[in-house]
Amino acid sequence: MKRGEAQLLKYTALYRITIIVSMAVKFLWQIFWFQKTNRIWDEKTRQKWESLLVKQAKEYRQKALQLEGLLIKVGQFLSTRADLLPPVFLKELEGLVDRVEPVPFDKSREIVEEDWGDDLYEYIEDIDEEPVASASIGEVYKATLKDGKTVAIKIQRYRVGQIFHTDFKAMRIVFWILSRVSSIGKKADLGALYRELVQVVSKELDFKKELKHSLYFKERFKDFEGVYIPDYYEYLSTRRVLVMEWIEGVKVTDETFIQEHQLNREHIAKKVFDLFVEQLVSDGMFHADPHSGNLMLRSDGTIVMIDYGMVGEIDKDDASYIRMMIQGFILDDYDKVIHALEDMNFLLPHANKQKVKRLLREMSDMYFQGSFEKFDQDVLNQILDDLQKFVKDQPIQLPADYAFLGRAASIVIGVLTSIHPSIDLMKWGKPVIKEWVSGNESDASIYKEVLKDSAKPLLSLPKALNQYLTDGEHQRAWQERQQQHRLFHQYYLFYALLSFVIFASGSGFLMVKYPDLPDVSIYMGFSVSGVGLLGVILFAIIHFRTIQTITKDRRNKSE
């Protein structure tokens, strides 16, 4: 397909929805077929499974860069969700960099003049027509104001609102399919996850919100030594245009720059550490995308933090819940831990709280009984891997802000180890954590709560857990078999329905005329329609046989 044709199709709603939904269906089918054909889970099977996931993640990344729009943001959003996706898939998504081909300058100028209601050069003396950065939502240009000040102008990409609106529709279909036929749909609240995705991305589409975030951080860190937040020009900033002062500097991890200006690595790393610990352990907003490109270094060693499109927020109630959770771990009171997780909306409604409590106790014992002389990247990776596995296997769903919090912490630690490889995070973190767990108010101190509650006896295992442990193996086996039947029943039913949707989409392509692309529309329409029709027939037959199996099994149980 020619480049011009691809660009034209990129703005076509039916094309985008078909590509996104069909990719999701393809992935689901590959996973289903793998599980069906690999009954024995050994090391060889595990390697094949990971290879499949890596292949899928690479295809997703390729499609995201090809289509641009929401797929890039979804990839970044999902890269924070260790509670949903396997580590090998997440690792591939980490390489999804939000850099795309720039749009013609005339399109960007048109947007600025629409929002300003005046000619661009009424306010601007000069502007470089080649952007210094181009991402899925906006492009950044270097310009000079009439008063001679150099600024960076971030302009929303041409027709990005239309593209994202279409992609939201496609992702809604994908999430609906996942909720019906995947294990994720049984474990996670995908409706809430979709709403979080829309909320997070919609904030980034409104530059007024980014302006508000930047002013918040400017005020919060105005007296923070060695850290600078750029000035923003409110009178020139709109929903689609953002103007800030131009910053001369390099990435904070630029080793050559650090050596040339004889800067102290440890001092730089300590400033970055202090800057983000303040955000991560205190209530309020935190920068959710603190990679090295958003942390600039000046020749005098000053850290400049930029780009406030992606932020999270921890309110005072959340901070108190986190303290309650830590108190529960200290007191060995896992009812308190569970209550804190519930208050933070971590636990899904169907969660087996007793099982979660037991697993939390086992994990905490494993770490508290050991000792870490040095808290470095290896120790952190070990803990994060264990936490990812625990969260993924349990009915736990991280709210977006907490997922972003974990992602931000992980990114910052990566930046810190890049600046200062021999960093000891335990040494720097102990005083901060000690002060934090004590609380800001005298009655909030965890230590006081420990003294007050230490005499309380440990609760015995509830009757429900004992009941489960003494259940007959036969009953549990039958229940598992029934659950598997129901799962296959839903798989085949909704794959059949989905195949019908694909068939209808392909037929729609045949009905839609593209004057400039007759061959593309016809070939695509016939191929999609054929695949969809074949799927309808195949899954309808398998679905009918599955219903017969379920009915027979129930009849045998009753006898």
8-50 per-position pLDDT tens digit: 677 888 999 999 999 999 999 999 899 889 888 888 998 999 9
Which of the given ranges, 121-130, 414-423, 478-487, has the highest pLDDT on average? 121-130
Rounded Cα–Cα distance for residues 478 and 459 (Å): 32
Rounded Cα–Cα distance for residues 347 and 361 (Å): 16
Q: Are 153 and 243 in contact (CB under 8 A)?
A: yes
Average pLDDT over residues 172-177: 91
Residue 217's nearest CA partner among 276, 260, 161, 160 is 276
Which pLDDT belongs to residue 270? 93
Domain 101-158+209-246: state its class. alpha beta
Q: Are 324 and 339 in contact (CB under 8 A)?
A: yes
Average pLDDT over residues 530-551: 57
pLDDT in tens, 349-370: 777 788 778 877 776 666 555 5
Rounded Cα–Cα distance for residues 383 and 178 (Å): 29
pLDDT in tens, 186-211: 666 778 778 888 888 888 899 999 99
Q: Are 141 and 102 in contact (CB under 8 A)?
A: no
Rounded Cα–Cα distance for residues 255 and 420 (Å): 10
Which of the given ranges, 168-172, 377-381, 483-487, has the highest pLDDT on average? 168-172
Q: Is the pLDDT of residue 384 over 50?
A: yes
More confident of the two residues 106 and 84:
106
Rounded Cα–Cα distance for residues 146 and 130 (Å): 20
More confident of the two residues 69 and 167:
167
Contacts of 129 (CB under 8 A, 6+ apart): 105, 141
Average pLDDT over residues 291-317: 90
pTM of structure: 0.69
More confident of the two residues 545 and 493:
545
Which pLDDT belongs to residue 459? 36
The pair of three-digit structure tokens given for residue 235, joined into one six-digit string: 């009178």
First to last CA, the chain: 62
- Apex CA 483: angle with CA 478 and CA 486, to 5°? 125
| CA dist list (Å): 10 to 3, 155, 167 | 11, 20, 11
Q: Is the pLDDT of residue 4 over 80?
A: no
Rounded Cα–Cα distance for residues 20 and 173 (Å): 9
Which pLDDT belongs to residue 297? 96
More confident of the two residues 98 and 254:
254
* Phi, psi for residue 317 in degrees, rounded to 5: -60, -45
Rounded Cα–Cα distance for residues 529 and 18 (Å): 11
Which pLDDT belongs to residue 401? 74
Which pLDDT belongs to residue 549? 61
- DSSP structure class, residue 278: H
- DSSP structure class, residue 132: S
Q: How large is the greatest C-alpha to C-alpha distance in the chain, in angstroms? A: 89
Which pLDDT belongs to residue 419? 93
Rounded Cα–Cα distance for residues 348 and 395 (Å): 6
The pair of three-digit structure tokens given for residue 61, joined into one six-digit string: 């990344």
Which pLDDT belongs to residue 142? 97
Residue 132's nearest CA partner among 1, 293, 259, 345 is 293
The pLDDT-based confidence of 534 (bands split at 50, 70, 90) is low
Percent of the chain predicted with pLDDT > 70: 66
Q: Is the pLDDT of residue 462 over 50?
A: no
Average pLDDT over residues 229-239: 96
Buried (b) or exposed (e) across 285-303, using 16+ Cβ within 10 A?
bbbbbbbbbbbbbbeeeeb
Domain parsing of the chain, residue ranges: 3-98+161-204, 101-158+209-246, 249-470, 471-558
Q: Is 423 exposed, middle or buried (0-12, 13-18, 19+ CB in 10 A)?
A: buried
For residue 144, give the H/E element and its range. Answer: strand 138-145
Q: Is 538 exposed, middle or buried (0-12, 13-18, 19+ CB in 10 A)?
A: middle
- Torsion angle, CA of 154/103/90/39, rounded to 10 degrees? 160
Chain mean pLDDT for the chain? 77
Q: State the DSSP string of 91-106.
A: HHHTT-----PPPPHH
- Apex CA 172: angle with CA 167 and CA 173, to 5°? 100
